[in-house]
Structure 1
Amino acid sequence: MQWILELAVGAFLAGITLGGPVSPSTTNRRYLEGQDGVKYNVFEHRATNSKLSFVKNSGICETTPGVNQYSGFFEARENPRQAPLVAYFEGGPGDAAEYGLFTQNGPCHFVNNESSPSLNPYSFNNYANMLYVDQPIGAGFSYGNATVNSTTAAAPIVWNLLQAFYDSFPEYENRDFGIFTESYGGHYGPEFASYILEQNAAISRGDLHAKEIRLVALGVSNGWFDATIQEKANIEYVYNNSYRRLINETFYKELLTRYDIKCKPALDRCAEVGTTEACYAAWQSYMNEIDYPIIGVLNEEYPGFYLGDIRDPSLRAPTTHVAYLQRLDVQEALGAKVNFTEQSGAAGFILSGDDARSFVSQLSSVVQAGVRVLIWTGDADYVSNWLGTLGVADSIEWPGREKFANQDVRPYTLNGVQKGTFKSLDNLTFMRIFEAGHNVPFYRKFSFIRLGLD
């Protein structure tokens, strides 16, 4: 089976062909390859039987003097030789990583409806070497003929990609490594991190010969972790939030009854048996009984309503990058082999029941392992609102669970101004960010990367 997963950072095609044809050699190989006028650096990785190809310093996005970029990868602007390595995964499911890159935390962004990007002074690569990954296949610049329709199926592919990356760039092997993600990343982040820890354990036992990944941090913004907790929180949020009450008391009570009678039993069944049929049925239950009815009421009361920011539908990240990345000249500079696709594969994840499955267990194992975990949420977001993510944080199984859950939140201030609230115990931190919607860094230009990786 052959397919290609691009390491995408602004198109920054770095293709890794897992199981694809490589030279008949027992060692890794490096060489330059010209194709359609594009010069690729190619690395054949024997351990995963894969090929990694990338363009160096395309001139797209990161133009800071002296800062190198490779397809899908940006060096840190500050002290790249010692800075940690961070992999970023967009949510969705099926959203391209370029969305987060261009609208939130990447080296460049679009300002005032400009058609070309300019440098982002708040980029995460100020302090970390950033690797943006397009997945599943079909999202962004990724392409291939395999099907990935669940979070657990994606995890080993991501791990293989990281193995090839480390062998291609061995100077990053012993760096602190972190995962940052958002939205559906409440599935991706815990599962990918948990899988890495499992592989590390196998390496330590001598059961697996591979590169240990020094995972130290996991950050999830407005994450979708657990439908059982978060669907009930959705009902609470639209009735009682700090901005405006969106439904009346009668509808609120009706939704709670629907949750108790129809949704909760279906979600319990999904958790108990874990089959595609049971979990897809659970997804249908909460969408039909809770989310679709809420959306219908809100669209009727507030035309153009945006679930990602209940204050104003115009307060959302632009998608200017989509047209930019579909330009032929941009794709030629990046060495892209397919056209850019903003989202792909969402239907497969839904139909497999993946959306309804809880990843709190995996999240718990990550916290138990001592990895620093940051769960932060913009409080104007309905989609994965702060009431739900707080409920998830309080439910994590670890020695500090009771103390953390009973801890009051405290003001979070920046330059003397309160920007939110937070609570923190040992390696777990929860933050509520005021006046921010679903894509927090778009609203608040904080370099939270340091919270997890200092």
Structure 2
Amino acid sequence: MLTLSLLLGLTLTLTLTLTLQTLALNIPSAAPPELRGTRTFVKRDGVDHTIFEHEATGAKIDYVANSGVCETTRGVDSYSGYVSVGKNQSMWFWFFEARHKPKTAPLGLWINGGPGCSSMIGLFQENGPCTFLPNATEPTHNPHSWNEHANMLYVDQPIGVGFSYGDETIGSTAGAAPVVWSFLQAIFAGFGEYRNRDFGLFTESYGGHYGPEFADYLEKQNRGIKQGTVRGREINLIALGINNGWFDPPIQFPSFITYSLTNPYRPLLNASIATPYLNETLATCVPELRKCISNTGHDSDCVHARAVCRVIDDKYSPYFPDVDFYDIRQDGAGTFPSSAYLAYLEREDVRRRIGARGKYVECSDSVGAMFDTTGDSAHSFLPTLSTLVSSGLPTLIWAGDADAVCDHIGNFEVVNNISYPLSAAFQEKKLEHYTTRGKVGGEFKSLGNLSWLRVYEAGHMVMSFQPELSLQVFRQVMGGGGIWGT
């Protein structure tokens, strides 16, 4: 017969065993190898920081939770901080939870272009949770933020851009892609609840290089993971969106001249200047660009091509009026969207609250110069884009039609030259009005997994000028298909 003390002892042993088993399921060693890590908490400058050290890669995430900066919607979490992506290389990120159903909402990544420009531009001036009104010193709520639909991640890349700091080693789009993939692997380990979400990559401007290359690299890594040759988590890429992109120099150098003469707002050149400018570009610049593209392994060909084209551009630049080339409706440097966010990010109290270190660099001259040394901007990413669209990836190419930097004429020609199974039918398909709640905001065509949209009355940063339309477009593309008017 069991005594009371023995029964109590067995109960205590059983309880202790169950408790230890429960704890064991929650310690890092119970996680898959690619997700294991340790988490510690420190207070720095009066602000609580969480530090996650990723076992598989050695990457460290140092972040602040719920700073209260920018996103002020009650109950919506945010995280900002750094991921170490190499020795003495800290990459800045800012993550905002979706305002609706964050536990099931997809994940979007936003990257600005340059090369060498910060994604805080997109966050504060385009599609983030807050924006700045003219002459404001504090941000205001953005009702058309993309985190109305998705969990949104903004990253400053490569190192040296925005708040990212450390050794600057990246001088090409191809070199930047593996670092972004490693960054995402660390993020998915540190924030494991988001690792299996549908994932969309959105970018602009030099994103015509970044977008195709980064998406292609993610897909290649996914294949390697499936085959057992790559260690990591698959990323469920379901959408690619690029507005006013720099994709294909042989197409887009001449299109700039055509746009300057024929855009719907005001001519930037007269025919007597545009004609010789175009002729010289076609005769001298474009052949060198094609030589660069056909010899992609030789940086010297691409550096030379860019130099030849720059000489022609410099020759004709004095004939242009003093306009904002990012929105030719504005004179000079332009005043919209507001650049008040720059002074905001210079404030020590703001940087401390969000966990940022050092001085904010909106666009890094040193990073841009490194890309110049490889002639990266002269490369074409139209073949890579064609590969992605042919694979079935839902892809949107869109452009504001008041932008002269990466004009809608060149972007439209690029999208019509994408090679995929429906290419011929796509080229022949007529454009239709694109509407938002019955209001015409552009013209588009969509066939299969490829969509094109010209946005009326919008400059380079489309979302700043047409926020409601842009949010509708984002929702549709993240749905994994084409776009349509409402």
TM (normalized to structure 1)? 0.91
**Identity value in percent:** 43
In the alignment, which residue of structure 1 is the partner of 2:39? 30
CA distance in 1, matches of 2:439, 2:356: 44
**Matching residue of 1:309:** 327
CA-based RMSD: 1.4
2:172 corresponding residue in structure 1: 150
Structure 1 residue 39 corresponds to structure 2 residue 48? yes
2:118 to 62, 81, 96: 96
Q: Does 1:319 align with 2:328?
A: no
Q: 2 CA distance for matches of 1:134 and 1:383?
A: 22
Asked whether 1:282 is paired with 2:302, we answer no
CA distance in 1, matches of 2:170, 2:446: 35
Secondary structure at the aligned position of 1:132 is classed as strand
Q: Quote the residue 1:332 is aligned against.
A: 352
Distance 1:316 1:410 in 2: 29
What is the deviation of 1:315? 5.7
> Residue in 2 aligned with 1:190?
212
Paired residues for 1:113-152 under 5 Å = 113-152=135-174
Q: In structure 2, do the counterparts of structure 1 residues 315 and 411 end up closer, same or farther at CA, with 3 Å as the change threshold?
A: farther
Where does residue 382 of structure 2 map in the other structure? 360
2:5 aligns with none
Q: Give me the whole-angstrom Cα distance separating, in 1, the residues matched to 2:74 and 2:276.
A: 59
Question: Structure 1 regions of 5+ residues with no counterpart?
Answer: 1-25
Work out which of the residue numbers 461, 474, 480 in structure 2 matches 1:449.
474
Deviation (angstroms), 1:244: 2.3
1 CA distance for matches of 2:414 and 2:282?
19
Counterpart in 2 of 1:297?
319
Maintained 8 Å contact 2:337/2:464: yes
Shift of 1:351: 2.3
Amino acid at match of 2:327: D
- Per the alignment, in what secondary structure is the counterpart of residue 419 of structure 1? strand
Q: How many residues align?
A: 424
Kindly indicate whether the alpha-carbon contact (under 8 Å) linking 2:119 and 2:156 is maintained by their aligned counterparts in 1. Answer: yes
Q: Residues of 1 paired with 2:268 and 2:437: CA distance?
A: 33
The question of 1:61 aligning with 2:70 is answered: yes
Aligned residues of 1:137 and 1:143 also touching (Cα < 8 A): yes
Q: Distance in 2 between matches of 1:284 and 1:84?
A: 42
More helix by share: 2
Q: Give the TM-score normalised by structure 2.
A: 0.85
Cα pair 2:134 2:338 within 8 Å, conserved: no
What amino acid maps onto 1:202 in structure 2? Answer: G
CA distance in 2, matches of 1:123, 1:79: 15
| Equivalent residue in structure 1 for 2:265, among 239, 243, 247 | 243
Q: Retained in 2: the 8 A contact 1:309–1:315?
A: no
Partner of 1:246, secondary structure, is coil
- Structure 2 Cα separation of the partners of residues 286 and 429 of structure 1: 30
Q: How far apart in 2 are the matches of 1:39 and 1:352?
A: 42
2-structure distance, mates of 1:168, 1:159 = 14
Q: Deviations over 1:377-405 (max 9, x none)?
A: 00111100111001110111211111112
- Of structures 1 and 2, the one scoring higher in RCO (CA 8 A, sep 6+) is 1
Asked if the contact 2:431–2:445 (Cα under 8 Å) also holds between the matched residues in 1, the reply is: yes
Q: Quick one: distance in 1 between partners of 2:387 and 2:380? A: 13
Cα distance per residue 1:285-309 (max 9 Å; x no partner) = 222213x3443211xxx33x11111
1:165 matched to 2:187: yes
Structure 2: gaps spanning 5 or more residues: 1-34, 81-93, 480-486
Q: What is the CA–CA distance in structure 1 between the aligned matches of 2:237 and 2:168, rounded to whole Å?
A: 28
In the aligned structure 1, how far is the partner of 2:371 from the partner of 2:434?
Answer: 36
C-alpha distance in 2 between matches for 1:413 and 1:295? 37
